[in-house]
């Protein structure tokens, strides 16, 4: 029979890859906890409108990337393409819009129908943080500082630059939008087909275009700088001051617009040059309109999402496999004792495995194959004396240890 394959754009995580992945998620979860963010888990599928109503119909995600289907009962369902809209849905559904601020961390799989390539998959994973109910730029700066500290704890802050922009308030953005439409109209014929279509409906999207044809034109497009209202400029100035206060270095990039429609004011991306075209590892912004679009009251919010696969690739050294001990009984007479030793080691927090079968040599081979650091060898003589031989499998050195002290001994030498 043909061996079945994973679906295009999906991957199995096994061994070192799974350890890298888990390390990214656990590090982020821990750092978010230090900043006072609590973890939420929401379903991986939602009513399609959770996304179609909020991300913007001209966004890449809604226009061509969503996994949507009618379920057996005829409900329109979408596998979540991102976390923020679902968190806002959960905020409203759970009646938490009057219990603000909410500081939310999440981690889990996301689904987008994209062209698979290195760092871009159809099922991928994100870590994310949302600070909901805070309009002060202090919230923006603190949330960005959390992102930077996650990258620092992963040891990748040095290779990821924070690019920062403001999208202003809606008044600033409308004026800028008119300027962009006028500018791109002049060069319409040189734009990619996608961007020609974007021109009428959402010219900001052109700034986010990955088409080479668009990029030279984007470089000389008008920036929002000249169109900011006094209030929007005040917030922008304060944010940059506060980031200095948090010790977060950044580079201003007037072309950062983000791919989804719900952003205003702050927009940012941590970008690396180590991953080719898939260089954005963690990105976000302020989304003050989203909770209202979800049917809740007007609620300010800021957040980010990080790509776990891209961060896992950036990690310098793979997280070490846990130190393991193999318990090697010599003969059936000591089996019962071996079980007690195994369970006692595990109870002491030591990863312990049985070398299941074969003669002594085969069992030691197996201990090596599972990557054990030590073998605990139980012979009849040792058991009679209440001891075991502990063999360091790297050096070959062997010592006899009293069974009562076995766990303590291994913890002290591992």
Residues within the interface to ligand ATP (CB under 6 A): 82, 112, 114, 119-121, 124, 126, 259, 278, 280-281, 283, 305, 307, 309-310
Residues whose CB is less than 8 angstroms from the CB of residue 192 and which lie 6 or more positions away in sequence, other chains included: 209, 211, 213, 214
Structure token pair of residue 213: 């044809």
Under 8 Å between Cβ of 303 and 131: yes
Nearer Cβ to ligand ATP (82/149): 82
Cβ closest to ligand ATP, residue 282 vs residue 355:
282
Whose CB is nearest to ligand ATP?
307
How far is Cα 211 from Cα 191, in angstroms, rounded to an integer? Answer: 9
Q: C-beta of 194: minimal distance to ligand ATP in Å?
A: 14
Contacts (Cβ under 8 Å, ≥6 apart) of 394: 373
HSE of 367, CA atoms in CB hemisphere, 13 A: 29
The minimum distance between CB 309 and ligand ATP, in angstroms, equals 5
Name which of 284 and 296 has its Cβ closer to ligand ATP. 284
Q: Strand order in 387-392's β-sheet?
A: 351-354, 324-329, 374-378, 387-392, 398-402
Q: Which is nearer to ligand ATP, 167 or 383 (CB)?
A: 167
CB of 297 to ligand ATP, least distance (A): 25
Number of H helices, E strands in the chain: 16, 16
Instruction: Tell me the closest approach of the beta carbon of residue 307 to ligand ATP, in angstroms.
Output: 2
The CB-of-397 to ligand ATP minimum distance in angstroms stands at 46
* Least CB distance to ligand ATP at residue 81 (A): 8
All residues at 6 or more sequence positions from 23 whose CB lies less than 8 Å from its CB, including other chains: 154, 312, 315, 319
Query: For ligand ATP, which is the closer residue by CB, 59 or 97?
Result: 59
- Cα 67 to Cα 4, 96, 365: the distances in Å are 22, 28, 47
For 252, phi then psi, to 5°, come to -75, 135
Based on CB atoms, which residue is closest to ligand ATP, 198 or 391?
A: 198
State how far the alpha carbon of 320 is from the alpha carbons of 346, 375, 379, in Å: 19, 19, 31
Contact call for residues 21 and 308 (beta carbons, < 8 A): yes
> Please, what is the minimum distance in Å from the beta carbon of residue 124 to ligand ATP?
3
148 or 310, CB closer to ligand ATP?
310
Q: Is 264 helix (H, G, I), strand (E, B) or coil?
A: strand
Coil, helix or strand for 389? Answer: strand
What's the closest the beta carbon of residue 116 comes to ligand ATP, in angstroms?
8
Smaller CB separation from ligand ATP, 114 or 136: 114
């Amino acid at each position: 029979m043909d061996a079945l394959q994973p679906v295009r754009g999906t991957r199995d995580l096994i061994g070192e890859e799974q350890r890298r992945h888990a390390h990214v998620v656990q590090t982020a979860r821990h750092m978010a906890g230090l900043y006072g963010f609590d973890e939420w888990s929401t379903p991986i599928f939602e009513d399609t409108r959770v996304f179609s109503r909020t991300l913007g119909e001209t966004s890449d995600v809604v226009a061509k990337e969503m996994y949507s289907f009618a379920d057996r009962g005829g409900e329109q369902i979408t596998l979540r393409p991102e976390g923020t809209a679902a968190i806002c849905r959960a905020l409203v559904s759970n009646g938490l819009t009057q219990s603000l601020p909410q500081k939310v961390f999440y981690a889990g799989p996301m689904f987008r129908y994209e062209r698979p390539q290195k760092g871009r998959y159809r099922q991928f994973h994100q870590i994310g943080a949302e600070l909901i109910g805070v309009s002060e730029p202090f919230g923006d700066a603190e949330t960005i500082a959390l992102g930077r500290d996650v990258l620092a704890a992963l040891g990748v802050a040095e290779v990821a630059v924070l690019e920062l922009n403001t999208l202003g308030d809606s008044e600033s953005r409308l004026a800028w939008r008119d300027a962009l439409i006028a500018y791109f109209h002049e060069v319409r014929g040189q734009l990619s087909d996608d961007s020609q279509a974007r021109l009428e409906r959402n010219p900001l999207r052109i700034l986010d275009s990955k088409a080479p044809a668009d990029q030279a034109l984007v470089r000389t497009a008008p920036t929002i700088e000249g169109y900011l209202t006094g209030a929007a400029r005040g917030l922008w100035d304060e944010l940059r001051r506060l980031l200095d206060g948090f010790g977060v270095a950044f580079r201003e990039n007037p072309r950062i617009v983000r791919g989804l429609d719900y952003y205003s004011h702050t927009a940012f991306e941590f970008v690396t040059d180590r991953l080719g075209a898939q260089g954005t590892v963690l990105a976000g912004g302020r989304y003050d309109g989203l909770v209202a679009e979800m049917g809740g009251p007007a609620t300010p919010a800021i957040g980010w999402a990080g790509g776990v696969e891209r961060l896992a690739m950036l990690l310098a050294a793979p997280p070490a496999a846990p130190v393991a001990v193999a318990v090697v009984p010599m003969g059936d007479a000591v089996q019962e004792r071996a079980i007690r030793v195994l369970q006692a080691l595990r109870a002491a927090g030591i990863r312990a495995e049985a070398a299941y079968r074969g003669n002594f040599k085969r069992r030691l081979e197996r201990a090596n194959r599972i990557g054990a650091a030590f073998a605990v060898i139980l012979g009849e003589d040792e058991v009679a004396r209440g001891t075991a031989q502990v063999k360091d499998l790297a050096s070959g050195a062997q010592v006899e240890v009293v069974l009562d002290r076995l766990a303590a001994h291994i913890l002290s030498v591992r």
